Amino acid sequence: MESPERARLEAFFRQITTRFPAGEHVTTLIITHLLSERPTFLRAMAATSTVGAVLPKPRSVDQPTLEKV
């Protein structure tokens, strides 16, 4: 993903996680399309919860992203 787009997504998720913090300890199970922009989303989720597992949707897995995650 290009860095201007990544910066925009990171700013968006930072705004959301700051505005809506988790009130107590939360563990999440994330089922998602695992595409090139998802690491930004997953970092935001990890900032507000303990990520217990990430389950990629089987028909939408970008291999380089899977290796990162």
* pLDDT tens per residue, range 5-60: 889 999 998 998 888 887 788 899 999 999 988 999 999 999 889 999 999 998 89
- pLDDT of 53 reads 95
Contacts of 65 (CB under 8 A, 6+ apart): 34, 35, 36, 38, 39
Q: Are 39 and 67 in contact (CB under 8 A)?
A: no
- pLDDT of 1 reads 57
| pLDDT score of 69 more than 90 | no
- pLDDT of 39 reads 92
Residue 48 tokens read as 């507000």
